[in-house]
Amino acid sequence: MATTNFKGQPVKLIGEFIQVGKVAPDFELVKTDLSSFSLKDLNGKNVILNMKYEYYPKRRTEQERRELNEQILRLLQSEACEQAGVTDEDIFNRYTGDGGLHGLRRSDYENYNAFSAAKKELENGQFFTPPPLCEMIVSALRLSDTDLAADLTCGMGNFFNFLPNENTAYGCEVDPNACAVARKLYPQAHIVQGDMRDYEPQTHFDFVLGNPPFHLRWIMPDATVMTSHQYYCLKAAKLLKQAWTK
């Protein structure tokens, strides 16, 4: 008898999981048009399975978030997630990054601008896009499984969860912790750790999507000042196939 997780709770199953290399038993499903579909209908065909993580929103205190973040990063570093019973879906639902964990108090600063600047210094503009919003955006774009899609500040990779093909996903993330989480969750995606200003992939993309850091002030090589979200848009345009071919 096998055990798995459903909505964060352990569930015992009748029978055992199918082992790698074994033939999966046939099954039948009813499609949205009420026609039937079975596994044997795919015999002799190439199949891409898109198995996304389920999202279970839960409100947590700052201290709870810190403890979960630290636990996950510690397990990733020691490659002990499986031994600790922590699944990839657990990581997807528990890791929340640095956003909101600055530990600063508004009353300690002369004005809000000073307080905001201090927060940005600590958080580096990091706030992960909520999975339901990522799903809505990706659904609206109607990507095919051959479209190349990039997120130039991918964080833990929430957009990748809803793409039709993980192999055609590209990401860049400056925070090594968030990058490590993204690589764990999406091992087939092309994810690099670094600053998007230095990101030079050897390809161009059909889509660039993401949630860039906002209102960080960056000094460009020509000594001009540009906000991080302005830079993101310009970089995205440069990396799109349509812009490249004109």
CA 132, chain centre distance (Å): 12
Task: Give residue 155's pLDDT band: very low, low, confident or very high (50, 70, 90).
Answer: very high
| H/E segment holding residue 119 | helix 112-123
pLDDT at 170: 98
Residue 245 above 50 pLDDT? no
- Per residue in 48-91, pLDDT (tens digit) is 666 688 898 888 998 999 999 999 999 999 999 988 999 999 99
Task: Tell me the torsion sign for CA atoms 67, 72, 76, 78.
Answer: positive
Answer whether 130's CB lies under 8 Å from 159's CB.
no
Tens digit of each residue's pLDDT (9 = 90 or more) over 3-16: 776 666 777 777 77
Strand ranges, E, within the chain: 3-6, 9-12, 28-30, 36-38, 149-151, 169-173, 190-193, 207-208, 217-219, 225-227
Structure tokens at 105: 């108090």
DSSP H or E stretch at residue 5: strand 3-6
pLDDT band (50, 70, 90) for residue 99: confident
Condensed to tens digits (0 to 9), the pLDDT of residues 220-242 reads 888 888 988 999 999 999 999 97
| CB distance 1 to 15 below 8 Å | yes
Tell whether the model's pLDDT for residue 145 goes beyond 80. Answer: yes
pTM: 0.75
- pLDDT of 246 above 60: no
The per-residue pLDDT for range 37-51, each reduced to its tens digit, is 888 888 887 766 666
Sheet holding 169-173, edge to edge: 190-193, 169-173, 149-151, 207-208
